[in-house]
Amino acid sequence: MKEITTMIHSRLAKLATIAAALAAFTGAVHAQEALKIAIMDIEKVRASYWKTQMSMKQVAERDADFKKVEQGMLDDLRQIVEDFNRLAQSAQDPANSEAKREADAKQARVKEADHRQAKARHTEYLQGAQRTMREMTARLSRARLEEIREVASVKAKQAGYDIVFNASENSLGVVVYSSGKNDLTDEIITELNKDAPEEFKPKKPVAADGPPPAATAPAPAEK
């Protein structure tokens, strides 16, 4: 709770600093011309951008590959445990000869060492996989954000805006209130998705009302 409170206070302090700087900047340019301000919902843009969907797919595929390898390592560990238990039980079975009990006890100790090594390899692999996934996710996220900023900058300059604020609701953006005017969000989404592959094109919503589309007659067979 203390960390959350500190984070909120930090963001509010940042917001106050930005507001103060904006007020000073506005006052400086007021005598020359009015400051043009626009907003955009970066989170909405990011979620709607086709390359974000592509990145999520790439991350999911890489994660599935890691999990497949890990499952094989877990299966090996499980087999070693089963072998150890079988050998340990045989080593203590009075029905077996002394030579067999000694041989099985020796093999059990080998399996015990194998288990320690396999477990260490699994731990090292898991840590490496998690580190790779974090780095991959962060790298792709930064790349998408840079692409969004680039398009937003071009759109803002074309429209003559001096400042574009983030109005995302879930990230405590710097916009406390907006009437919704000068919102570049949808325009930027359209620009980012204009060359999207068919696989990642935004799906059009299905109309809730209205009659179903008329069935089309089958095309005649080619001769």
pLDDT digits (tens, 9 = 90+) for 34-74: 778 999 999 999 999 999 999 999 999 999 999 999 999 99
What number of helices (H) and strands (E) belong to the chain? 5, 2
Q: Is the pLDDT of residue 29 over 80?
A: no
Pick the closest to residue 37 from 184, 190, 188, 186 (CA basis): 184
Q: Is the pLDDT of residue 80 over 80?
A: yes
Give the sign of the dihedral formed by CA 76, CA 81, CA 84, CA 90: negative
Q: Is the pLDDT of residue 220 over 50?
A: no
148 exposed, middle or buried (CB, 10 Å; 0-12, 13-18, 19+)? buried
For the chain, give percent helix, strand, coil, nearest 5.
70, 5, 30
Pick the closest to residue 196 from 75, 54, 101 (CA basis): 54
Those residues whose C-beta lies under 8 Å from the C-beta of residue 126, and which sit 6 or more positions away, are 70
Q: Flag the least confident range among 19-23, 38-42, 167-171.
A: 19-23
| Model pLDDT for residues 94-112, shown as the tens digit of each residue | 999 999 999 999 999 999 9
pTM: 0.68
Q: Is the pLDDT of residue 14 over 60?
A: no
